[in-house]
Amino acid sequence: MEGNLTPFVLLLALLTLQLCSADASPSRSNTQYIRTSCNVTNYPRLCYNSLSIYAGKIKTNRKALAHTALNMTIAATQETSVIMRRLLKIDGLKPIEAAAALDCMEEIGDAVDELQNSIDELSHVVRGSNFWLQMSDIQTWVSAALTDEDTCMDGFDEHNMSGRVENLVRRYIVNVVHLTCNALALINSYASTSTEALLP
Question: From the CB of residue 130, how many other CB atoms can be counted at a distance below 10 Å?
Answer: 12
- How far apart are alpha carbons 189 and 178 in whole angstroms? 17
Residue 10 lies in a domain: no
Contact yes or no for 174/42 (Cβ under 8 A): no
pLDDT at position 162: 59
Q: What is the pLDDT of residues 79-134, one digit of tens each?
A: 999 988 888 887 777 888 788 888 889 999 999 999 999 999 999 887 677 888 99
Specify if 20 maps to a domain. Answer: no
Q: Residue 61: which domain range? A: 28-197
- Across 133-156, b (16+ Cβ under 10 Å) vs e yields ebbebbeebbebbbebbebbbebb
Instruction: Give the chain's domain count.
Output: 1
- Domain of 177, CATH number, reads 1.20.140.40
pLDDT for res 125: 87
Distance CA 33, CA 82 (A): 33
**8 lies in some domain:** no
Q: Is residue 13 part of a domain?
A: no
| Strand, coil or helix: 82 | helix
Contact by Cβ (8 Å): 71, 79: no
Q: What tens digit of pLDDT does each residue of 9-31 get?
A: 444 444 444 433 433 445 788 99
27 secondary structure, DSSP code: P
Q: Find out whether 73 and 42 touch, Cβ atoms under 8 Å.
A: no
| Structural domain contains residue 81 | yes
Query: What's the pLDDT band for 158 if we cut at 50, 70, 90?
Result: low
Question: By mean pLDDT, which of 32-41, 59-68, 92-101 is the weakest?
Answer: 92-101
Q: Is residue 12 part of a domain?
A: no
